[in-house]
Copies of this chain bind each other. A is one copy, B any other.
Amino acid sequence: MKTDPETKPDLSAQIAKAIRDAIIEGRMIVDERLPSEAELADQFKVSRPTVREALKRLAAQSLIRTQRGAFGGAFVRHLSYEEAYGQHITTSTLLLSMNAVSFETACEARYALERACAPLACTRRSADHLATMRAEIHRQGQPGLSDEAFCASDVTFHRALVDAANNPVLSYQLAGAVEAMQPLMNMITFTARSRETIVQLHTRIADALEHETPQQADTALHELEAYTLTLGRDVMAARTRQNA
């Protein structure tokens, strides 16, 4: 592990990169212990605080974990789906908010991806997934529900749809798209009328999965996309009027 001698960025960044590359390229395996901070400082010819900054960078990316005490130290971490989800969602959310992605674009992406899951979900959905979807549909029909709670339930419903495809890679990729859109969706006010329409479409989707009719799921998702889009446009239009 060596640092490039002529590069400009911070020493701690260089060292972090050197170690990161070692992990990513498989030169260090899961649960392998890194040299102690003092040893790394010697190896890289820097002080311990600099090494520590590098290690904290890696910890922030969930690439290592540290343990105090004798025979403690930094260990290569096993990246779990849960943590990867978390990072992915954080990044996606920021990306959407900072880059002012339009509601249309986000919506289009989300439903395109969900439609990709539908055929798989039709063949693989478990009773559990169906039950979750039915339960959320029921909740969405309750009159006293706040907009936020309705939205959260919506996310749960759609995650169940995605998870029903029973493909962890798909679930991971889509978690970002669905959950990252929640802040955008939260801006929508769901009237009793619009909730009714959405519940009907959700019911059609759940039915399609239960009866294994992918074509109907596809159609319902198309309609839901179109409907969500009109709701979103109304909000945006109202907002524009307000600002003008």
The yes or no answer to A130 lying at the interface (CB within 8 A) is no
Provide the main secondary structure of the chain A interface: helix
Known: A56-B12, A101-B169, A105-B169. A95 touches B112 (CB 8 A): no
Copies in the complex: 2
Q: How far apart sit A20 and B151, CA to CA, in the bound complex (Å)? A: 24
Known: A24-B90, A94-B79. A16 touches B60 (CB 8 A): yes
- Shortest CB–CB separation between residue A88 and chain B, in angstroms? 7
Q: Which residues of B contact A110 (CB under 8 A)?
A: 169
Q: Which residues of B contact A170 (CB under 8 A)?
A: 108-109, 112-113
Known: A60-B16, A112-B117. A167 touches B95 (CB 8 A): no
The yes or no answer to A44 lying at the interface (CB within 8 A) is no
The yes or no answer to A216 lying at the interface (CB within 8 A) is no
The yes or no answer to A115 lying at the interface (CB within 8 A) is yes
